[in-house]
Amino acid sequence: MAKAQTTQFVIGVDARCTDGVCGEVSRVVVDPVAETITHLVVEPKHRQGLGRLVPLDLVDATPEEVRLRCTTAAFEQLDTAEETQFLPGSSGYRGYGPGQMLSWPYYGLGMGMGMGGGMAGVPQAITYETLPLGEVSVRRGEQVHAIDGDIGRVQGLVLDARNHHVTHVLLQEGHLWGRKEVAIPIGAVTGVGDGIRLKITKQEVQDLPPVNLDQPLSS
């Protein structure tokens, strides 16, 4: 029986358009019901709040980088991954509702910072993800929770390249002096959101063999 071809999405790698680097993969968007990856969020480096939702059909991935089948100009026209709105009744905007106020990516909201971390004359604002309905994002470094406690942090996800179905969660497990990367089968995952929850113990995770991120996994 032939092995299924898999693709590994390591969160934090560079993303390159056909005409140059456009940012890095900041998170992966998952449909938790279908257990599929639907989008990558690619964010220009050092410019938070400008992340774009990149459909998986535009993506070719290796453990070292992600290549997008579009130009930088086309990338900048993709849907944004987050939005900021001013809170009703905040300074300078009293009496207006959220739908009546200007929204923009939050990278510009640092202007006007006062002493002590406050904002002088700048209304309060909230930033939220603008993901497809019912989908959640998975970030690098999120906690992975075994039955009996935290076991490590998310490194990335692995999917079946034929149908975008998630097959494994890549985990960095252990302490600074004994870290290893392991691939947890998706069947051991019970929930995604506020970290990844497993139905196996820390010992069972520790017993998984280490993986080489440069080599494809068999499902």
What is the chain written as a DSSP string?
Answer: -PPPPEEEEETT-EEEETTEEEEEEEEEEEETTTTEEEEEEEE-TT-TT--EEEEGGGEEE-SSEEEESS-HHHHTTSPBSEEEEEPTT-TT-TT--GGGS-B--GGGGGTTB-GGG-BSS---EEEEE-PPTT-EEEETT-EEEETTEEEEEEEEEEEETTT-BEEEEEEEES-TTS-EEEEEEGGGEEEESSSEEESS-HHHHHTSPB--TTSPPP-
Q: Do 61 and 100 have their domain in common?
A: no
> Quick one: pLDDT at residue 113?
39
> Quick one: pLDDT at residue 84?
63
Q: Do 63 and 12 have their domain in common?
A: yes
- The reply to whether 1 falls in a domain is no
- The reply to whether 58 falls in a domain is yes
> Quick one: pLDDT at residue 78?
95
- The reply to whether 50 falls in a domain is yes
**DSSP state string for 83-109:** EEEEPTT-TT-TT--GGGS-B--GGGG
Q: Do 178 and 159 have their domain in common?
A: yes
Range of the domain at 86: 82-129
pTM of the model: 0.69
For each successive 10 residues of the chain (219 residues), what is the average pLDDT? Answer: 66 94 92 88 80 93 90 94 64 46 39 42 64 82 92 88 87 61 90 88 88 56
> Quick one: pLDDT at residue 54?
95
- The reply to whether 51 falls in a domain is yes
Q: Do 64 and 25 have their domain in common?
A: yes
> Quick one: pLDDT at residue 130?
77
Bridge-based pairing of strands 180-185 and 166-173 is antiparallel
> Quick one: pLDDT at residue 79?
92
> Quick one: pLDDT at residue 66?
94
- The reply to whether 219 falls in a domain is no
> Quick one: pLDDT at residue 195?
86
> Quick one: pLDDT at residue 193?
73
Q: How many domains does the chain have?
A: 3
